[in-house]
Structure formats: C-alpha cells, structure tokens
Structure 1
C-alpha cells in the first residue's frame, strides 16, 4: 500500500473510482448531499475548487483523508454542467462540435483541520459532428451524468475528440498525476 492513512473518495463517479484504483490506492466511497451552487463572478477554475471544497467541508474526518472533486466544462466563457434533459445534451454537444473547450477539475484533500485544494485544466479539441452522430451518442451512451454531456473515455472521446492538451485523466474527472503528487506532500 502506497499510503497508510485510510482514504475516503467522496464521489459517486465510477470514473473517479476507477482512476483511484488504477493509482493503486485503497479507499472507500462515502457520499454526502451537497448543494453545488456557487457565487456569481467566479471563473471556471474558481468554480471547480469552490464546489470541491464545499463537498469536502461536509465531512468530519479526523483519521482519514477525504478526496473530493468537481469537474467543469467551459467553452467561450460559458459553463456546461450536466445536462438537464436530451435537448440540453444536444445543445451542449452541438456547441462542442468543431471547437476547442476547457475542462477544469477542482480537487480538495482534507484530514481533520488540514485542507488543501488545487485544480487542473485541459484543452479538448473536437471535430465537427452531425446531428445524427449527436443523437447516436446520446441514445447509446446516455451522458446525463457528465459535465459537458460527454465522456472522454467512451465513443465521444474515441471518435470525436481530435486532440487533448493537458491531462487525459483530468478530462475523465480527476487529474491523477497532480493528485498523486499532492497526496505525497499532504501526508
């Protein structure tokens, strides 16, 4: 085991859970309901960290490390959260078609009164997609639980994403490279 301190991942995301397993970390998943609203005027990086910290502050872990994260997709200054419905998903994916956007993930590590947050940003460039391709994607991959309405690890990432500048795992929802370094410093 790389870290002896017990770890709690405060995320229902199967992608984040998979990434922590691939990092060789032993952890358990615990969830708390947290309001994910944020004050106006924050930029995408600030929003991702703000929400991640809100999630972390919901825990009172003295002997465990809690890891929380929040991922934001932004295009031309507009935040693309999780879609409300099919039409919303179609609109988001049409915006991403043939353009570049940024994915921000804020991460917070907390143990007792010690709290540390950071973020990572990755540029993602997508090819132009047709309405039929967007409908195919939504019908087959149901991206309703994903910021920006897509998962880089599925059909969209394999067929539509042309280039990524930065961390691939950040686009999946957890910048594992940075997280590992920060955990080493935190412990």
Structure 2
C-alpha cells in the first residue's frame, strides 16, 4: 500500500472509482470541477478518454490560476482525473440519455467484441501526467428479455455504453475479457498505482 506524501483529490463523482481507490488503500477527497465533455470531431476514438481526462485536470489548473494566491491549488496537492469511453464498430457509446438509447446500445454490443478505453490524468501543481489503458470485452448474444430485465432492475444511465461490468449484465453476458477488469469499471488501478508511486513515502 502506498502512503502518499501529498494530499490527493479524486476528481470524480463515480462511486465505482471512489470504491476502487479506497480498496487500493488510498486516502483522498472528492472534488469535481464542471468540465464540458466535448472533443474534436476528427479525434480518433481511442484518444478521446485521455483527452477528456486531461481537460478535467486542465480545469483544475485554470480555476486555480484565476483564484487569489491564498486560494490556489496547493503545491503539495495531487488531482487525479479519469474518463472512460466505450467504442463499438468505430462508434463512441457515451452515457445513454434514456431507456431507448440504452437499449439500442446494448443491442449493438450484443454478440460482439467492443473496446473500453480509460484515460487518466494526474495534476501535480503545474504538470499534468496522463495515460491510457484499454481492454476488449466480448458479449454473447443478449436476449431482449435480458436487456429489458437489466434496464428495469439497474440504472446504467451514468455508464458509458449503458452497462456496468460488475453488474448482472456483466456477470451473465460477458464471455471474454482481454485486459484489466478495473479499466472496464472505469479506473486502471494498476496504472494509477504506478502513476502515484513517485509521490509516496518509501515502503
């Protein structure tokens, strides 16, 4: 377990990311700055997650620079940002706006392999370090009744691609995973651990 020499902020309201960080032994505060989740239309889908994570970190840096000196981001504070995208058939599947869009996404994922990319950015005062981790997920063909059951009993509307790998649909529908399970959940903990290692006390 790493004991950090600096205070850590997790810039995410995701309960999954918060739980993963706690389970990994990190102590942190949650603070989120509203950031537009937009990206250039010509950007390759595999680069979007890192781009959005960096934009979230940039928002912390910009807002800190606009404040009075005594209210700016302390030099001994780290800010961890992340974003996850689901890519199916070269199309980015964002968080669904409602049940109809969620159903369409799950139908598209059914019986196919898709890509999950999580980007991470770490703000260290005026430096931003970023990385990307990818995984492949293969769903067996899903029955309409299974899709309906998932949408009726779970709330996938805050999840890219309209599903949570740790929920019922992941348990019964996923045939194969290539890569980190935690990257699919929204945070590649093994990569985050290495990213934070330089700021830890010696073990």
Aligned to 2:130: 117
Q: How many residues are treated as equivalent by the alignment?
A: 187
**Aligned residue among 86, 93, 96 for 1:83:** 96
**Superposed CA RMSD:** 1.1
Deviation at 1:39, TM superposition (A): 0.5
The reply to whether residue 42 of structure 1 matches residue 43 of structure 2 is: yes
Summarize the alignment of residues 168-187 of structure 1 with structure 2, pairs less than 5 Å apart.
168-185=181-198
Distance 2:87 2:47 in 1: 12
Residue by residue over 1:84-128, the C-alpha shift from the partner in whole angstroms, topping out at 9 and shown as x without a partner, is: 111000000000100000000000001111110000000000011
Q: Is the 8 A contact 1:150 1:156 kept in 2?
A: yes
Summarize the alignment of residues 95-174 of structure 1 with structure 2, pairs less than 5 Å apart.
95-174=108-187
Distance 2:45 2:191 in 1: 18
3-state SS in 2 of match to 1:37? coil
Unpaired runs of at least 5, structure 1: none
Unpaired runs of at least 5, structure 2: 65-72
Deviation at 1:183, TM superposition (A): 1.3
Aligned to 1:17: 18
3-state SS in 2 of match to 1:58? helix
Give the structure with higher Rg (CA): 2
The reply to whether residue 6 of structure 1 matches residue 7 of structure 2 is: yes
Aligned to 2:68: none
Deviation at 1:186, TM superposition (A): 5.7
Deviation beyond 3 Å, 4+ runs, structure 1:
none
Distance 2:54 2:98 in 1: 27
Deviation at 1:143, TM superposition (A): 0.3
Q: Is the 8 A contact 2:95 2:161 kept in 1?
A: yes
Q: Is the 8 A contact 1:7 1:64 kept in 2?
A: yes
Deviation at 1:131, TM superposition (A): 1.0
Deviation at 1:44, TM superposition (A): 2.2
CA separation of 1:27 and 1:119: change in aligned 2, threshold 3 A: same
**Aligned residue among 82, 97, 100 for 1:69:** 82
